Structure 1
Amino acid sequence: MHIVFGDSPTGSLKIALKESGLIQQENIINFSDLFSIGPILNLHDAQGFNSRYEWLRTHIRMDDEGIFTYETSFRQTILNIEQIPSHHLIVIWAGENAHEQTGLRFVLYLLKEKRNNIVMININEAYKTHFERPEIDFIPRCMGELSSGQLKQIYENEKNAHVLTQTERKAFEQQWVQLCNEKEVLRIWENNKIISVPENYYDEYIINTVKNFQQKKKHNDFIKSARIIGEVIGHLNQYIGDQFIHYRIIRLIMDGVLDMEGVPTAMRYYSIKIR
């Protein structure tokens, strides 16, 4: 039983298992979420989930269908994890980023009463072992940045890797207990740790990016917000998603730091500049 964090890596892993002839024997549980953003305070209980759901609904742009699907999908994923048969090997895929590492700790907490053997595949370590080349400057920020072919090769080499000991599992469970007591809504990965930071952590970087774009223009014109969001996301070594940057831009507009032209129903429909 594979546990994966995100729709894109789930799709790639499905192809990898199909090409390996394993798609009929091995299943994937997908946590369709982004754990680097949003509240995770006591997420393992109903009140914690409701708080996260409300924050996402009111801060991150999802249509009515998307937010309804999120709630249904989340609850079904929890149920799927609870119903994993005790004799199944569990393989959890996680890269060196706050999203997947938070998800890893959350899942291991949910599995704390189960006696299944659990293997964790660190996609960054696996990438270094099997694909890293001195002439290629690339470090995957998350599992979704690896191809199905790369995942196939990684799994073939890592599926018999070290099974987590009870001591290691307890350590991850305790880390989740500590993490889920924090109230911040933004997490980054730094020095091999999940760090909770204020939600305005990247505001200055967003503002400087807008300033740099404006300086390159002859006139003090508005800049498409999608270009700013793409530039910010492209240069961050963190995996926090474009919707969070979109949310912070809207907050900077509301606070009078940025001016807006257009309608912010989606990031491609409005432009911004420094007020």
Structure 2
Amino acid sequence: MIQEIKKIIEQLSEREARSLLFQHFLQIQLLQKKSYSESEFAENMKKEYQELLQYSSKQKQQPYHTIHIVFGDSAAGSLKIALPSEEKVIRFSDLFSIGPVNQLHTEEGLIQRKKWLFLHINLDEETTHTYIEEIVQTLSEIKAIPEHIPIYIWTANNAHEQTGARLVLQILKEKKNDIRLLNISTAYQHLWPNIIPVHTGELGHDKLNRIYKTYKNEQPLTEQLRNKLAEEWEKLSKTTEVLRIWENDQIKSVSENYFDTFIIEQLRYLHIKQMKLDFMKSARLIGEVLGNTDQYVGDAFFEYRVRELILQGIFDIEGVPKAMRFYSVKLKGVF
């Protein structure tokens, strides 16, 4: 029930949330001034709770004429602001460039992926607890899209969104919907030359709105291309690697230590910049790595690899590695 309430609150607009908070503070103030009793306060809160549940139910039933599928919470938040209210956004909160995707469209595949993430990536307890439930709900929403509704899948030139797009196209393989891929990397380069964003979550709602208005009437994917991309998912779903990169316009599965040498080089560079050689906050190192790679695998994966380099004896550690802000590292033997 707690998760249901949280989802309802997340669906509120900023204006709606502010109004609700104001009403609660106002009622508390009236209670303190003895303007009404605690029993009246409790009854009002119960009434508001029931109204909120009813409002959420009505929102779910609201008709829509277009579906947008996006990969990432930040991208979904910006897209919801950018689009008309009658166009629905379905989001995956996962990061598909990391972790196993072997048979991910099956229950066993989801269980294995959750296990790997739990063992290697620093996730908050709530995310771990609801992981499979949220993925299954998202997959169910996509499968339930009526066939007359056009679908837009938002992607960029990275393994995360490209992998997600292929998973979605496999799910929709038997559907007759018009499906369009909106690649923000390509679109951005045409509209604002010389800059290529790595992932959709980098863009604000104004840029997404401009891209959508410019490319919304592009031709839908042909059946041939849809089948090709769905087949690429089928091949991906048979792989065992836990890291994917985007190279030469293709998803490439690589070893999980693929970035280790690059991480070591970035720490060596930061040591050179230090006035006095000392331990470096791991968050600082990971920020440097993120800023100097054109791949999108997320800070949590790089933090996992930093911990692995510590275990291998390549980095020394100072602090407790429960989160990147709590410990520092240095190259072994630099001083």
**2:114 aligned partner:** 53
> Paired residue for 2:306, among 249, 255, 261?
249
Contact kept, 8 Å, 2:189 with 2:195, in 1: the verdict is no
Instruction: Give yes or no for the alignment of 1:161 onto 2:246.
Output: no
Offset of residue 11 of structure 1: 0.6
SS in 1 for 2:253: strand
Q: Residue 112 of structure 2 aligns to which amino acid in structure 1?
A: S
Instruction: Give yes or no for the alignment of 1:223 onto 2:274.
Output: no
Instruction: Give yes or no for the alignment of 1:103 onto 2:164.
Output: yes
Using the alignment, how far apart are the partners of 1:218 and 1:128 within structure 2?
39
TM-score of the two chains, using structure 2 as the length reference: 0.78
Instruction: Give yes or no for the alignment of 1:143 onto 2:200.
Output: yes
Contact kept, 8 Å, 2:283 with 2:325, in 1: the verdict is yes
Over alpha carbons, which structure has the higher Rg?
Answer: 2
Give runs of ≥4 in structure 1 deviating > 3 Å.
Answer: none
> Paired residue for 2:250, among 193, 206, 209?
193
Instruction: Give yes or no for the alignment of 1:182 onto 2:239.
Output: yes
Q: Residue 140 of structure 2 aligns to which amino acid in structure 1?
A: L
Offset of residue 215 of structure 1: 2.4
**2:53 aligned partner:** none
**2:50 aligned partner:** none
Gaps of 5+ in 2: 1-66
TM-score of the two chains, using structure 1 as the length reference: 0.94
SS in 1 for 2:213: helix
With 63-72 and 43-52 compared, the bigger mean Cα shift is at 63-72
Offset of residue 128 of structure 1: 1.8
- The structure, 1 or 2, with the larger RCO (C-alpha pairs under 8 Å, 6+ apart) is 1
Structure with the bigger percentage of helix: 2
Gaps of 5+ in 1: none
Instruction: Give yes or no for the alignment of 1:12 onto 2:69.
Output: no
Instruction: Give yes or no for the alignment of 1:272 onto 2:329.
Output: yes
With 258-267 and 61-70 compared, the bigger mean Cα shift is at 61-70
CA distances 1:98-133 after superposition (whole Å, capped 9, x unpaired): 00000000100011121111111111121122222x
**1:124 aligned partner:** 185
**1:83 aligned partner:** 144
Using the alignment, how far apart are the partners of 2:110 and 2:130 within structure 1?
14
Using the alignment, how far apart are the partners of 1:256 and 1:130 within structure 2?
47
Q: Residue 229 of structure 2 aligns to which amino acid in structure 1?
A: F
> Paired residue for 2:155, among 80, 94, 107?
94
- RMSD of aligned C-alpha atoms? 1.1
Using the alignment, how far apart are the partners of 1:58 and 1:122 within structure 2?
33
SS in 2 for 1:62: coil
Offset of residue 70 of structure 1: 2.4
SS in 1 for 2:87: coil
SS in 2 for 1:153: helix
Q: Residue 38 of structure 1 aligns to which amino acid in structure 2?
A: G
Contact kept, 8 Å, 2:167 with 2:230, in 1: the verdict is yes
Using the alignment, how far apart are the partners of 1:126 and 1:138 within structure 2?
11
